[in-house]
Amino acid sequence: MSPLRYLWLALALWGAIHPMYYFLTYMAGHDWSLGALIDAWYVNDSTHGLVWDLTIAAITLTLWVLAEVIARRNWLGLLAIPATFCIGVSCGLPLYLFLRSRPI
């Protein structure tokens, strides 16, 4: 495996673990309420803007993954879509780059 693929994999793991730590810590302090976590994303204009920024990035990544999967028939790349929406773009994007860069 190339050094760049190791880097993509490391970033995908970091993008899964690091943000999830903060999400779980917040939820543990608020009775495991997903609603409280989502409400916290909209407490001010700054967080509201960040939510929209990440939402647009997630939609863009999803469309790119779908377009490339259709063209390249790299079905494994579809794993990046649930990773993006269940964990975040910080995991989904490097995961897709890792899967995309594998030898065919």
pLDDT of residue 101: 93
CA-closest candidate to residue 61, choices 34, 35, 93 = 93
Mean pLDDT of 45-74: 96
pTM for the predicted model, two decimal places: 0.90
pLDDT of 103 = 84
**71-94 pLDDT, tens digit each:** 999 999 999 999 999 999 999 999
